[in-house]
Structure 1
């Protein structure tokens, strides 16, 4: 199948076609230790208009404590990409991070899994 040279090759359903490594400038490892359950929150020390749009979107999402998993889902990006970008914000002092207070223990998770398997 060929496309006319004067028409852009876009998939409107997919949205903007930007590779994740483009967002992270090729970086694959975050500088901060983050889990999917880590809670991140904006410090208000950085103006969103002075940073990249994806970082600004993250700051907006993190006005209230938000998990890394939620930020990743809202951005439609893999978790590792989200962690790398959040690490930038942590390094710049734009967000703080902590683990949630009520993490389930292994026994709770195994009981939940067993219950789900019984269904």
Structure 2
């Protein structure tokens, strides 16, 4: 039986919902790149654990308005859960910025990015997602 293949540039993402906002989580470095630079709109929020490998997380924000803190906190917990910081005992810092403030350095490995401006949010790692 032939294997069903997905298109080469379709990212493999997990989708979550928080208060009506769609949250997307990348599953690999290549998927993170596609999620951040092909799927995310400029007004969407982008999250990632500070200083450690982990998934890129996008909060879809089609209206471009302010995203509730509870939604940002939930997305930050997902970023921690899908990173090397999952087993941390204390709070973990997560960078939050608009997707348009995320840049890919020339020649960088998949998943590597630079942020023009960002804010930090500290959350405890969730036990389960």
If the length of structure 2 is used for normalisation, what is the TM-score?
0.24
Higher-strand-fraction structure:
2
Structure with higher RCO (Cα < 8 A, 6+ apart)? 1
Higher-helix-fraction structure:
1
